[in-house]
Amino acid sequence: KLQAVLFDLDGVITDTAKYHFTAWKQMAGRIGIEIDSDFNESLKGIERMQSLERILIHGQQEQKYSQAEKEGLAQEKNDEYVSLLANLTPEDTYPGIKELLQELQEKKVAAVIASASKNAPLILEALQLNTYFHSIVDPSGVPGKPKPDIFLKGAEQAGAKPSFCIGIEDSQAGIEAIKTAGMYAVGIGDDRILKPSGADIVYPSTEELTLQRLLAAAHMI
């Protein structure tokens, strides 16, 4: 019954969520805005310019910059982020992910990347995981998470019906997006954070992700 598994990237496939946080913290710090890990939860899954808006509001600087200046700030963050990605190797893939992708490939279930990140192709290449994915959703011009569109587009690309899809996410916005898309939502992380957003099941780590477990949890055996 399972037709496709839609994977978020940052914080699900690899630990790039920490690099996003580091890069935002650095940029925000430079303009006098402090961000902590609690606030960072509200940035996870959120598209780049939207994240910047949230940071400026958080620091009560939402009126301070022109559009061009905001683009400069986002560029500054991305340059730092991309430089942190330079050391990424296949060993940085989270535990259990490659095995799950191999199982999906064997069972001919499509694996799709449903990430808000414009850096997704770069990261998948560094991890050497390209060949396991049916496709990557291009997030440009698509309403961002928590809207369901990125997940719906992923399902459509794979020719899958949302009710026969599983989405995997580490962010509150992403879990909400999966549920609104009408899919089974698997959270990776803290269930006290992800359950309230609507996660159907939460695993503390990707190590727990086996196809058999997912099928049983989602009643898709």
Assess contact for 43 and 51: CB atoms under 8 A: yes
Q: Which of 145, 149, 92, 137 is nearest to 111 (CA)?
A: 137
Least Å from the CB of residue 14 to Mg ion: 10
When the beta carbons of 3 and 115 are compared against ligand BG6, the nearer one is 115
165 contact, one of Mg ion, ligand BG6, none, CB 5-8 Å limit per kind:
none
When the beta carbons of 3 and 117 are compared against ligand BG6, the nearer one is 117
Cα→Cα distances 160→6, 28, 54, 204, Å: 10, 40, 34, 27
8 labelled catalytic: yes
Residue with tokens 């890069």: 23
Kindly tell me which residue out of 78, 92, 164, 182 binds ligand BG6, with binding defined by CB under 6 A. Answer: 78
CA pair distance 156, 149, nearest whole angstrom = 10
Instruction: Fill in the DSSP letter of residue 130.
Output: G
CA–centroid distance for 158 within its chain: 18
Q: Which stretch binds ligand BG6 (CB under 6 A): 26-34, 117-125, 147-155, 207-215?
A: 117-125
Binding of ligand BG6 by 116 (CB under 6 A): yes
Kindly tell me which residue out of 93, 115, 180, 206 binds ligand BG6, with binding defined by CB under 6 A. Answer: 115
38 labelled catalytic: no
Q: Which of 157, 150, 140 is nearest to 173 (CA)?
A: 150
Burial of 50 (0-12, 13-18, 19+ CB in 10 A): middle
When the beta carbons of 15 and 71 are compared against Mg ion, the nearer one is 15
When the beta carbons of 157 and 171 are compared against ligand BG6, the nearer one is 171
CA pair distance 216, 214, nearest whole angstrom = 5
20 contact, one of Mg ion, ligand BG6, none, CB 5-8 Å limit per kind:
ligand BG6
Binding of ligand BG6 by 172 (CB under 6 A): no
Binding of Mg ion by 170 (CB under 5 A): yes
Assess contact for 32 and 64: CB atoms under 8 A: no
Which member of 10, 149, 170, 200 is catalytic?
10
When the beta carbons of 17 and 218 are compared against ligand BG6, the nearer one is 17
The interface with ligand BG6 within residues 118-147 (CB under 6 A) comprises 118-119
Binding of ligand BG6 by 73 (CB under 6 A): no
Active-site residue set = 8, 10
